[in-house]
């Protein structure tokens, strides 16, 4: 099996998710957002997909360097791309991660197995927990201790047995770390 095509498909979409200065995501006003879908195709017609990565680096640098490689040789491809980072600033860890995930997706489709099984996982279910966001300043959000308690009770009623609490913490917007 060989890689015959590597494609980075850019697209725009509407989102209501925003990131704060610490990288946390929160609901926010609707806005345009940009994303890349990476697609790798084998000569046997098996394809893999993943969101993320620098589309230009993937198409212009990574793609030509992995054409003809066996997509199941993920480690070989990763090591090769890792060495390329010395020559190309745009071949970031994010690019390597996106390509690696595409190759894992392709392998899962090829073997008709979920990735967790290919990695040796044995569980069919994983317990979930509810979680809050940090510094919720949205009107009607978790802006008081009572709002946190109400949210926790609602999650319990929905069947969550665990709850991760993110309360107000530094750096508070406009504040500074101690």
Please indicate whether residue 147 or residue 60 has the higher confidence score (pLDDT). 60
d(CA 67, CA 79): 15
Minimal CA–CA distance to 80: which of 94, 68, 96?
A: 96
- Domain with 154 in it: 127-178
Question: pLDDT tens digits for 81-99?
Answer: 999 999 999 999 999 999 9
pLDDT digits (tens, 9 = 90+) for 150-178: 888 999 999 999 988 877 654 444 444 44
Asked whether residue 137 falls in the same domain as residue 175, the answer is yes
Tell whether 63 and 7 lie within a shared domain.
Answer: yes
Question: Which residues are paired to 84 by β-bridges?
Answer: none
Burial class (CB in 10 A: 0-12, 13-18, 19+), 98: buried
In this structure, the answer to whether residues 23 and 50 fall within a common structural domain is yes
CATH number, domain with residue 9: 3.30.390.10
Rounded CA separation 71/102 (Å): 9
Number of H helices, E strands in the chain: 6, 5
The pTM for the full model equals 0.76
């Amino acid at each position: 099996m060989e890689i015959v095509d590597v494609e980075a498909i850019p697209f725009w979409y509407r989102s209501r998710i925003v990131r704060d200065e610490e990288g946390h995501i929160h609901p926010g006003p609707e806005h345009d957002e940009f994303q890349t879908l990476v697609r790798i195709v084998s000569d046997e017609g098996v394809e893999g997909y993943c969101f993320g990565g620098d589309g230009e680096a993937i198409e212009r640098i990574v793609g030509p360097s992995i054409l003809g490689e066996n997509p199941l040789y993920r480690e070989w491809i990763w090591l090769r791309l890792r060495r390329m980072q010395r020559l190309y600033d745009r071949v970031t860890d994010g690019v390597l991660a996106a390509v690696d995930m595409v190759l894992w997706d392709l392998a899962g489709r090829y073997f008709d197995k979920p990735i967790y099984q290919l990695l040796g996982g044995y569980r069919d279910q994983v317990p979930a927990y509810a979680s809050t966001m940090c510094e919720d300043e949205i009107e009607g959000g978790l802006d008081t201790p009572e709002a946190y308690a109400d949210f926790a009770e609602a999650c319990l009623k929905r069947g969550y047995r665990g709850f991760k609490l993110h309360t107000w913490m530094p750096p508070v917007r406009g504040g500074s770390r101690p």
